[in-house]
């Protein structure tokens, strides 16, 4: 068994349009972009809590399965900035905070209470590679959502459930780790996450 000193850990800014995988044996996915294109990662590397293809931001990678399990175990907060279609109002924010019903594994799932607030201004984030529709198509607004759970496409499903579909989703924090000044595609190796 490896000791923790033998493990390697990375923090990356996952770009829009990349899968949270390193390569694929599936011929249908040959046109997809994988994290392995960003860096020569070691064997046994895994993403801790994936981001879907259309989501971007902070992603932790490790060769340590115990570390991955701990971070995914609902003990560690994950904060997202979501750009929404429409100008979200207080009642919808309160619904998100309390928990909403979303579809998960073919059933309805009630999300746990979480922290949600509207951002006063558009956050300073790198420009996304694929343009987002502009204001001519109606207003947009930004919210911060902080969760300890992470069901598949959860934030997107939550904002849709209250009538404000997500146009852009960026994970900005995992625990005490922040994107800070990282740019899209940046990879940093670290000794440990916490």
Kindly report, residue by residue over 101-122, the tens digit of the pLDDT: 999 888 999 999 999 999 999 9
Which secondary structure element, helix H or strand E, spans residue 160, and what is its range?
helix 154-161
Q: Residue 4: its pLDDT value, please?
A: 56
Residue 133's pLDDT band (cuts 50, 70, 90): confident
Residues 122 and 14: their CA atoms lie apart, in Å, by 20
Residues of the chain with CATH 3.30.70.580: 4-73+178-190
Q: Residue 2: its pLDDT value, please?
A: 43
Q: Output DSSP code: residue 119.
A: -
Unique residue bearing structure tokens 């996304």: 128
Q: Output DSSP code: residue 161.
A: H
CATH of 78-174, one of 3.30.70.1560, 3.40.1190.20, 3.40.50.970, 3.40.190.10: 3.30.70.1560
**Each residue's pLDDT tens digit, 42-67:** 999 999 988 999 999 999 999 999 99
CA 155 to chain centre: 9
Q: Is 5 helix (H, G, I), strand (E, B) or coil?
A: helix
Question: Is 52 an annotated catalytic residue?
Answer: yes
Phi first, then psi: give them for residue 141, nearest 5 degrees.
-145, 160
Q: Residue 25: its pLDDT value, please?
A: 62
Question: Domain 4-73+178-190 belongs to what topology?
Answer: Alpha-Beta Plaits (3.30.70)
pTM value is 0.92
Query: Of 26, 40, 52, 64, which one is the catalytic site residue?
Result: 52
**Across 163-187, average pLDDT:** 96
């Amino acid at each position: 068994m490896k000791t923790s000193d033998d493990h390697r850990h990375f923090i990356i800014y996952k770009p829009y349009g990349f899968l949270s995988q390193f390569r694929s044996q599936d011929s249908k996915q040959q046109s997809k972009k994988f994290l392995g294109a960003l860096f020569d990662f070691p064997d046994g590397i895994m993403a801790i809590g994936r981001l879907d293809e259309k989501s971007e931001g902070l992603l932790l990678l490790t060769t340590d399965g115990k570390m991955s399990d701990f971070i995914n175990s609902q003990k560690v907060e994950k904060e997202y900035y979501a750009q929404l279609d429409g100008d979200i109002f207080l009642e919808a924010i309160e619904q998100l905070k309390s928990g909403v019903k979303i579809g998960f594994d073919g059933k309805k799932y009630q999300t746990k209470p979480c922290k949600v607030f509207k951002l006063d201004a558009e956050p300073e984030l790198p420009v996304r590679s694929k343009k987002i529709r502009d204001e001519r198509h109606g207003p947009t607004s930004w919210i911060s959502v902080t969760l300890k759970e992470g069901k598949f496409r959860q934030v997107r499903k939550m904002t849709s459930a209250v009538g404000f579909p997500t146009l852009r989703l960026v994970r900005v924090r995992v625990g005490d780790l922040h994107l800070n000044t990282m740019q899209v595609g940046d990879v940093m190796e670290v000794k440990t996450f916490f």
